[in-house]
Amino acid sequence: MLKLKNILCGAALLTGTWGIAQQTPAPRQTASVLITGAVAHIGNGSTINNSAIGFKDGKITYAGPLSGVTTGAYDRVIDASGKHVYPGFIAANSTLGLVEVDAVRASNDQSDTGDLIPHVRSIVAYNSESKVVESCRPNGILMAQVAPRGGLISGTSSVVQLDAWNWEDAAIKTDDGIHLHWPSAFRSKGWGFSGPSEFVPNKDYEKEIGEIRTFISGAKTYLSGPKSPENLPYQAVSGLFDGSQKLYVNVDGEKEIADVVRFAKTNGIRHMVVVGGNEAWKVADLLVENDVPVILSRPHRLPSGEDDNVKQPYLLAKMLSDKGVLVGLEMSGAMERMNTRNLPFYAGTFAAYGLDKEKAVQLITGNNARILGIDAFAGTLETGKDATLFISEGDALDMRTNSIPHAYIQGREISLESHQTQLWKRYMGKYEAGQ
């Protein structure tokens, strides 16, 4: 009876969650649009005051000073004087659309069984009608890398735009990379009220790395031979060696980062990205030398070491950028799907602690686009790129002024309604009516 009750409660929760689907995706752009008078944040570190951003058939046709364009050449002109226009923000290493309700196992598709499963593709589990995805768009998050979790090699990620009928429509770059969780050289020894009571060397560190080495060695041997019998995990990592895919390595420690950089170089893995990188600043020169970018964890947390500056997480982006490391921002961690809507405010925190404001914008626009390999068509406001952008009433990295009246994905003006905005309007109406 108890089991039946749990099943019925779960079904009711799912019905309540998915009973009202996401807004119908916007239709293809038919009328050309010109946004005038705004401060344009290009996404490459520069701005244009009194700008004009024009787009037609989903592509940007003009991005420059207002004085350089004929407004009459566009079907619709939006006066954005006093406002700001940004490229769509990009959430890297997210699990958007893979989990809807944490407490409902049937809605959780972020991980699969096994430790070495690079052939598991997160994109086929992506739920384009997720209400969590819908909650991100009003803050300017219009694209995301959907990444798997769990195991040593978790699977393959893809990059999506956040206004689609299904995963096929959503995908803008499929199977962009393989996600690896590098073992830690240290382990916690017991837990106290405030966290791990002590860290001790991980005696199994070399053994755990050995599993990864053995897998990669086996894959290289398989890929150079007759490929029989068929081996899906080995086939899935072929892009690491020909450069068509990147290896995203979840790793934080100084020693571990140095070890994995050498591992990738030794094994002919052409493109590697550090994900997390709490101690990446200690090996910044090594990262620059090997052209390894870092997607930093969100900064609202305590430092990883007890002797670190308590503000260390806030300073990381500036420290690495000053050293010449290409830096982006990722979203893994506690309540990561719900917190993804706060992506621009995490970038704003880096700006508050020394990073130039436009470089902070770059973290979640141009830089994330470069790291994810979509910079040829996304990430900056430049002619020929996708018209995935938005207008903000104020500073989009400041939660007090991030108020978005218009947002576009590939030129299509999307709905900015969400479950939260609907509830706000409903109850504001109630109180305004004096009920």
pLDDT at 20 over 70: no
Q: Is the dihedral of CA 224, 227, 228, 230 positive or negative?
A: positive
Q: Does 29-88+379-435 match 91-185+235-374 in CATH topology?
A: no
Query: What pTM, to 2 d.p., does this model score?
Result: 0.91
Instruction: Say how far apart CA 21 and CA 45 lie, in whole Å.
Output: 37
Class of the CATH-defined domain 29-88+379-435: mainly beta
Q: Which fold has domain 91-185+235-374?
A: TIM Barrel (3.20.20)
Classified as helix, coil or strand, 390 is strand
pLDDT recorded at residue 413: 97
- As a whole number, the mean pLDDT across the chain is 91
pLDDT tens digit string along 201-213? 999 999 999 999 9
Instruction: Say how far apart CA 362 and CA 351 lie, in whole Å.
Output: 11
**Closest-CA residue to 342 (of 46, 128, 87, 94):** 94
Domains of the chain, by residue range, sit at: 29-88+379-435, 91-185+235-374
Percent of the chain beyond pLDDT 70? 93
- The residue ranking higher by pLDDT, 83 or 12, is 83
pLDDT recorded at residue 281: 96
C-alpha to C-alpha distances, 105 to 11, 14, 101, 113, nearest whole angstrom: 11, 11, 8, 14
pLDDT at 6 over 50: no
Instruction: Say how far apart CA 251 and CA 248 lie, in whole Å.
Output: 9
Greatest Cα pair distance in the chain? 76
pLDDT at 57 over 90: yes
For the record, the structure tokens of 70 come out as: 């004929």
**Closest-CA residue to 320 (of 289, 277, 358):** 277
- The residue ranking higher by pLDDT, 36 or 12, is 36
DSSP assignment of 37-104, as one string? Answer: SPEEE-SSS-EETTEEEEEETTEEEEEEEGGGS-GGGSSEEEE-TT-EEEEPEEEEEE-TTTBS-TT-
pLDDT recorded at residue 179: 97
pLDDT at 15 over 70: no
Conformational region of residue 391, where left means phi above 0, alpha means psi within -120 to 50, and beta covers everything else: beta
- The residue ranking higher by pLDDT, 39 or 104, is 39
Amino acid letter at 290? N
